[in-house]
């Protein structure tokens, strides 16, 4: 909106509970929009504004100076914004009838009340700590705030070449694995699910898993922790169906849940996703109370279902929008978050936005899928690296529903482009026309996002029929499989029952292809397979399918599945022995 409403003439009193991303952003915006207001910011810790996402990198000595983690201190925030900042003070209750809160100074023990005209809840989320035997033993940590960070950093320094076990293979789990490995520790990751990074589809996660193992990390998938024991050698991490792991330090990265204790006490509505329910203006069920950050739930822009998100970007934006709505009386809707996230996993960068194919399938949403490989920049310029882009999109309309990118360079730029298209209701056709800055060190004349769009368009318009990694195992003798790579590539590894007809020879060998059977073609990454499918389709072969992502993606995903099967069989043998 260009014409902002006038600021109310009378001064009002705003209380914000919880600082960091959402709360601190709301407080600063409130001051900028209402110079005369009384603003009180309560924070139960010592720290009001710090870089949560930088905490693992400080532990790993990538960030050397602790002070660089802090965006604002209580003193600097007070001086700049004229806000009454009360750290080490916990709000114990909210009385919606009297529009007041009760707070306790955690240093002096003093308890007192404050009234408000409008209140902002920003309590964040709290780490999940399952009730496992021994979970309270020394050396077992969660990472959520500065205090946790200082404690972990001090503790791991006692074990410069020790053993670390990370429980949970989400974003923070992988970041902690990398940073403890950076310190010289021997790292193991335990994940209850069958893959790392749950928001990804399996084939994309498989690429990450292979890379993690190549760095010497022990990865235990489909494995659960049943408890912890202490002995003379350190901590024993007891696993279901596997031998116990010895650890000097254990990081619990199982996940977080919205901190809704104050909201429940105040009688505010909690949603299906167990977060504080807010409307489009970030207003709770009480019209005088707003909420932002990790504790809230809102409507997913793609599915319309109620969701939570634990990301700093949305929390900061919510803080700003919330403040605008408080001052200007609900003029600025929050349009939700599509879960755009990125993580560094050793040499790989992994980005995701929107919905995954498995999530769409679970929600009964029809979709098509496309996977492409492209160079991060022009191949003739030194240093180009391959990146993998997966798109999911709606049949008929081509509406873009989700995207995942895995690579070493330029992933951030591409996932941001894709997220912008999704957030603005764009389609794969928009990707084909994305205008990007091009010079050889940065991209190609056809950017990887353009290529992904071209391929998705071909699938949508049935210029190419795709089949996928999961389909390969079901191909039988009634299907004719053609490997259109070179003879050398074919001999180095191939899909069972595939015959080799190199792409450049295909036109001269069409008589070798049966006209009455379904034809499945593949190459290394999908491009030659697409060209082969076009040749066949225009020469009378009606049922022709090209392997999306090619042999490279199938081999990676299949190798990970085979490894999982072998480990499952080994676990079963151990159980039978017992």
How far is Cα of residue 379 from the mean position of the Cα atoms in its chain?
Answer: 29
pLDDT number for residue 51: 87
Residue from 565, 575, 572, 559 nearest 213 by CA: 559
523 catalytic, yes or no?
yes
Percent of the chain with pLDDT strictly greater than 70: 96
Q: pLDDT digits over 245-303, tens only? A: 999 999 999 999 999 999 999 999 999 999 999 999 999 999 999 999 999 999 999 99
Q: Which helix (H) or strand (E) holds 74?
A: helix 74-81
Among 10, 88, 469, 523, the one annotated catalytic = 523
Which residues contact residue 490 at a Cβ distance below 8 angstroms, ignoring those fewer than 6 apart? 483, 498, 500
**Confidence at 241, pLDDT banded by 50, 70, 90:** confident
Residue from 317, 299, 388 nearest 352 by CA: 388
pLDDT number for residue 35: 96
pLDDT number for residue 578: 42
**Confidence at 576, pLDDT banded by 50, 70, 90:** very low
pLDDT number for residue 56: 96
pLDDT number for residue 478: 86
Residue from 437, 439, 374 nearest 406 by CA: 374
**Confidence at 569, pLDDT banded by 50, 70, 90:** low
Q: pLDDT digits over 144-155, tens only? A: 999 999 999 999
Q: pLDDT digits over 35-94, tens only? A: 999 999 999 999 998 888 999 999 999 999 999 999 888 999 999 999 999 999 999 999
Q: pLDDT digits over 362-418, tens only? A: 989 999 999 999 999 999 999 999 999 999 999 999 999 999 999 999 999 999 999
Contact between 356 and 403 under an 8 Å Cβ cutoff? The reply is: no
In the predicted model, what is the mean pLDDT of the chain?
Answer: 94
pLDDT number for residue 574: 52
Contact between 519 and 536 under an 8 Å Cβ cutoff? The reply is: yes
């Amino acid at each position: 909106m260009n014409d902002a409403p006038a600021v109310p003439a009378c001064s009002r009193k705003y209380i914000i509970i919880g600082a960091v991303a959402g709360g601190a952003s709301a407080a600063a915006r409130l001051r900028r929009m209402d110079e005369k207001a009384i603003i009180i910011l309560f924070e139960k810790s010592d720290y009001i504004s710090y870089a949560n996402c930088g905490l693992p990198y400080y532990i790993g000595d990538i960030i050397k100076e602790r002070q660089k983690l802090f965006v604002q201190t209580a003193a600097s925030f007070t001086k700049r914004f004229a806000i009454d900042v009360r750290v080490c003070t916990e709000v114990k209750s909210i009385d919606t009838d009297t529009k007041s809160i009760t707070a306790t100074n955690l240093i002096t023990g003093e308890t007192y009340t404050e009234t408000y005209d409008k209140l902002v809840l920003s309590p964040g989320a709290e780490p999940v700590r399952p009730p496992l035997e021994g979970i309270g033993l020394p050396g077992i940590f969660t990472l959520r705030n500065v205090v946790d960070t200082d404690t972990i950093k001090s503790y791991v320094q006692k074990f410069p070449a020790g053993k670390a076990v990370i429980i949970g293979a989400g974003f923070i789990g992988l970041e902690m694995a990398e940073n403890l490995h950076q310190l010289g520790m021997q790292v193991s990751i335990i994940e209850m699910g069958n893959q790392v990074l749950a928001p990804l589809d399996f084939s994309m996660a498989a690429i990450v898993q292979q890379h993690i193992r190549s760095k010497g990390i022990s990865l235990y998938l489909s494995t659960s922790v049943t408890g912890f024991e202490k002995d003379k050698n350190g901590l024993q991490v007891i696993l279901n169906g596997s031998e116990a792991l010895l650890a000097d330090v254990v990081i619990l990265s199982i996940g977080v849940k919205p901190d809704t204790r104050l909201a429940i006490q105040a009688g505010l509505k909690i949603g299906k996703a167990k977060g504080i329910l807010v409307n489009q203006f970030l207003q709770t069920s009480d019209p005088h109370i707003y909420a932002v950050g990790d504790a809230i739930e809102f409507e997913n822009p793609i599915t319309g279902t109620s969701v939570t998100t634990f990301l700093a970007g949305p929390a900061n934006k919510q803080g700003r929008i919330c403040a605008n709505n408080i001052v200007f009386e609900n003029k600025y809707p929050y349009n939700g978050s599509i879960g755009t996230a990125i993580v560094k996993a050793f040499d790989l960068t992994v980005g995701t936005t929107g919905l995954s194919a498995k999530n769409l399938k679970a929600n009964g949403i029809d979709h098509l899928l496309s996977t492409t490989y492209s160079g991060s920049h022009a191949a003739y310029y030194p240093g180009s690296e391959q990146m993998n882009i997966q798109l999911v999109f709606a049949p008929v309309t081509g509406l873009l529903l989700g995207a995942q990118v895995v690579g070493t360079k330029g992933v951030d730029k591409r996932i941001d482009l894709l997220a912008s298209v999704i957030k603005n209701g764009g389609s794969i056709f928009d990707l084909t026309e994305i205008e990007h800055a091009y010079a050889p060190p940065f991209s190609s004349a056809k950017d990887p996002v353009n290529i992904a769009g071209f391929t998705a368009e071909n699938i949508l318009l049935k210029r190419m029929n795709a089949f996928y990694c999961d389909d390969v195992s079901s191909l039988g003798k009634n299907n004719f499989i053609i490997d259109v790579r070179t003879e050398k590539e074919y001999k180095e590894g191939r899909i069972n029952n595939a015959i080799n007809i190199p792409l450049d020879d295909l036109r001269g060998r069409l008589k070798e292809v049966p006209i009455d059977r379904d034809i499945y073609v593949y190459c290394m990454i999908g491009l030659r397979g697409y060209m082969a499918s076009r040749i066949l389709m225009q020469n009378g072969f009606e049922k022709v399918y090209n392997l999306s992502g090619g042999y490279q993606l199938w081999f990676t995903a299949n190798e990970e599945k085979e490894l999982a099967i072998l480990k499952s069989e080994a676990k079963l043998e151990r159980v039978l022995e017992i």
